[in-house]
Amino acid sequence: MDDYDELVSSLTPRQESDSVKIYQNTVGLACPACDDSFDNLIVCQDEFNTLGLDFAMDICTHVHEGDALLFTHKH
């Protein structure tokens, strides 16, 4: 994704650990995968990551420079 840095700079950081960063989409940006507005972007930076989800959501994915990007959509 060419505009990754621009995308992330538009989002609000919510959580950060060594392996996972979570950003909230407070400005209604469109998901690059499905064009619907997404709720959060989860950036997984380790080779393996485990996520616990609080509720059911749809997830779009993208791989950027070896990091897995998860775009979450609540129902």
Q: Quick one: CA dihedral 6, 10, 7, 43, positive or negative?
A: positive
Do 70 and 57 meet the contact criterion of CB atoms below 8 Å apart?
no
- Asked if 60 touches Zn ion (CB under 5 A), the answer is yes
- Asked if 33 touches Zn ion (CB under 5 A), the answer is yes
Number of residues this chain uses to bind Zn ion (CB under 5 A): 5
CB count within 10 Å of CB 33 equals 14
- Of the listed pieces 1-9, 12-20, 28-36, 41-49, which binds Zn ion according to CB under 5 A? 28-36
Binding site for Zn ion (CB under 5 A): 31, 33-34, 60, 71
